[in-house]
Chain A
Amino acid sequence: MIQEEDFEHILAKKYMRTELMPHAFCSGCGIGIVERIILMAFEELGEEEWRRTVFVSGIGCSGWTPLYFRSDVAHTLHGRALPFATAVKLARPELNVIVIMGDGDAMAIGGNHLIHAARRNIGLTTIVVTNMVYSLTGGQVAPTTPEGAVTQTTPYGNIEPNFNLIELMKAAGATYLARWTTYHVMQAKNSVKKAIKHKGFSLVEIISQCPTFMGRYVLNKADPRDILQWFKENSVPIGVASSKSPEELKGKIIVGEFLHKPEVLEYTERIRMLKERIGR
Chain B
Amino acid sequence: MPGGELRLMTGYDALVEGSIIAGCRFFAGYPITPSTEIAERMSSRLPRVGGVFIQMEDELASIMAVIGASWAGLKSMTATSGPGFSLMQEGLGFAVITETPIVVVNVMRGGPSTGLVTLPSQGDVMQARWGSHGDYSVIALAPWSSQEMFNLAIKAFNLSEIYRNPVIVLSDEVVAHIREPVRIPPVEEIEIVERKRPSVPPTDFIPYLPEPGEWVSPMPAFGDGYNVLVESVMHDEFGHRIGMGQPIAERKIKRIYYKIEKNVDKIAMHEERELGDADIAVVSYGSAARSSLKAIKDARGLGIKVGMLRLITLWPFYDKLMEELSERVRAIVVPEMNMGKIVREVERASKGRCKVISVPKVGGVLHSPDEILSAIKFAAR
Most buried by A among B69, B76, B90: B69
A94 to chain B, nearest CB (A): 8
Judged by a CB distance under 8 angstroms, whether B343 is at the interface is no
A87 near B65 (CB under 8 angstroms)?
Answer: yes
Contact of B223 among A83, A92, A115, A271 (CB under 8 A): A92
Contacts of A79 in B (CB 8 A): 60
B14 at the interface (CB under 8 A from A): no
Which A residues lie within 8 Å of B91 (CB)? 77, 80
CB distance B47 to A275 under 8 Å? Answer: yes
The listed residue (A52, A56, A87, A94) touching B69 by CB distance below 8 A is A87
Instruction: Write the B57-72 contact mask toward A (1 if CB under 8 angstroms, else 0).
Output: 1101110111111011
Cβ distance B274 to chain A, nearest Cβ, rounded Å: 47
Q: Could you tell me the distance in whole angstroms from the C-beta of B19 to the nearest C-beta in chain A? A: 16
A20 at interface, CB cutoff 8 A? yes
Which A residue's beta carbon lies closest to that of B90?
A77
Known contacts A67-B229, A83-B65, A113-B57: A77-B94 contact under CB 8 Å: yes
Q: Are B64 and A84 in contact (CB under 8 A)?
A: yes
In the complex the two chains form, what is the Cα distance from A90 to B67 in whole Å?
Answer: 12
B232 near A76 (CB under 8 angstroms)? yes
**Complex alpha-carbon distance, A73 and B68, angstroms:** 11
A61 within 8 A of B: no
- Residues of the B chain whose Cβ atoms lie less than 8 Å from the Cβ of A92: 72-73, 221-223
* A86: contacting residue among B68, B229, B231, CB under 8 A: B68
> Which chain B residues numbered 67 to 103 have a C-beta less than 8 Å away from chain A?
67-69, 71-74, 76, 90-91, 94, 98
**Min distance, Cβ A7 to any Cβ of chain B, angstroms:** 22
Main secondary structure of the interface of B (DSSP, over half): mixed
A74 touches B47 (CB 8 A): no
Q: Is B64 touching A91 in the complex (CB atoms < 8 A)?
A: no
Q: Let me know if A37 is at the binding interface, CB within 8 A.
A: no
Chain B residues, CB < 8 A from A88? 68-69, 71-72, 222
In the docked arrangement, what's the CA distance between A2 and B47, Å?
A: 46
Contact B61 A80 (CB under 8 A): yes
Residue in B26, B64, B73, B240 whose Cβ sees the most chain A Cβ within 10 Å:
B64
| Chain B 230-288 residues near chain A, CB threshold 8 A | 230-233, 240-241
Q: Say how far B132's CB is from chain A's closest CB, in angstroms.
A: 11
Asked whether A87 and B223 contact (CB < 8 A) given A74-B68, A77-B94, A113-B61, the answer is no
Is B20 among interface residues, defined by CB-CB distance under 8 A? no
B368 touches A (CB below 8 Å) = no
A75 at the interface (CB under 8 A from B): yes
B227 and A91: CB pair below 8 A?
no
Q: In the assembly, what is the distance between CA of A86 and CA of B57, in Å? A: 12
Within the assembled complex, what's the spacing in Å between the Cα atoms of A88 and B58? Answer: 17
Against B, the Cβ 8 Å flags (1 = close, 0 = not) of A111-133 are 01101100000000000000000
Contacts of B61 in A (CB 8 A): 80, 82-83, 86, 112-113, 116
User: Contacts A75-B230, A75-B232, A83-B61 given: A91-B225 contact, CB under 8 Å?
Assistant: no
CB of A85 closer than 8 Å to a CB of B: yes
Known: A91-B72, A91-B73, A112-B58. A76 touches B26 (CB 8 A): no
Q: Name the contact of A54 in the complex, choosing from B66, B67, B222, B240 (C-beta under 8 A).
A: B222
Contact with A along B296-338 (1 / 0, CB 8 A): 0000000000000000000000000000000000000000000
Does A250 have its Cβ within 8 Å of any Cβ on chain B? Answer: no
Closest residue of chain B to A81 (Cβ to Cβ) is: B64
What is the CA–CA distance of A279 and B47 in the complex, to the nearest angstrom?
Answer: 9
Q: Please give the distance in Å from B13's CB to the nearest CB on chain A.
A: 19
A84 x B68 contact (CB < 8 A): yes
In the complex, per-residue mask of A258-280: 1 if CB is within 8 Å of any chain B CB, else 0: 00000000000001001100111
Known contacts: A83-B65, A112-B57. The answer to whether A73 contacts B73 by CB under 8 A is no
By the criterion CB–CB under 8 Å, are B64 and A52 in contact?
no
Stretch at the interface among B48-56, B104-112, B167-175: B48-56
Q: A90-B54, A91-B69, A280-B48 are in contact. Are A73 and B76 (CB under 8 A)?
A: no
B62's contact among A56, A67, A83, A85, by CB below 8 Å, is which? Answer: A83
Q: Are A73 and B69 in contact (CB under 8 A)?
A: no
Q: In whole angstroms, how far apart are the Cα atoms of A95 and B68 in the complex?
A: 13
Does B42 make an interface contact (CB < 8 A)? no
For residue A185, give the distance in angstroms from its CB to the closest CB of chain B.
Answer: 26
Q: Is A70 in the interface zone, CB < 8 Å from B?
A: yes
Closest to B98 in A: A74
Contacts of A42-78 to chain B: CB distance below 8 A: 51-52, 54, 56, 59, 67, 70-77
Within the assembled complex, what's the spacing in Å between the Cα atoms of A183 and B68?
Answer: 34
Rounded to whole angstroms, the CA-CA distance of A74 and B95 in the bound complex is 12
Inter-subunit contact B48/A75 (CB<8 Å): no
- Structural contact, A72 and B68, CB atoms closer than 8 A: no
> Which residue from B50, B222, B232 sits with its C-beta under 8 Å from A77?
B232
Complexed CA–CA distance, A67 and B235 (Å): 12
Q: Does B215 make an interface contact (CB < 8 A)? A: no
B359 at the interface (CB under 8 A from A): no
Complex CA distance for A28 and B351, rounded to whole angstroms: 61
- Complex CA distance for A87 and B225, rounded to whole angstroms: 19
Complex A-B, nearest 5 residue pairs according to Cβ-Cβ distance, in ascending order: A87-B68, A91-B72, A83-B61, A84-B68, A87-B65
Q: List 8 A-B contacts (CB under 8 A).
A: A73-B230, A75-B229, A76-B230, A80-B94, A86-B61, A88-B68, A95-B72, A113-B61
Residues of B within 8 A of A (CB): 26, 28, 47-50, 52, 54, 56-58, 60-62, 64-69, 71-74, 76, 90-91, 94, 98, 221-223, 225-233, 240-241
User: Besides A83-B60, A91-B68, A92-B221, 19 other CB < 8 A contacts?
Assistant: A70-B227, A74-B230, A75-B229, A75-B232, A75-B233, A80-B64, A83-B28, A83-B61, A86-B68, A87-B54, A87-B65, A88-B68, A88-B69, A90-B69, A91-B52, A91-B73, A92-B72, A112-B57, A113-B61
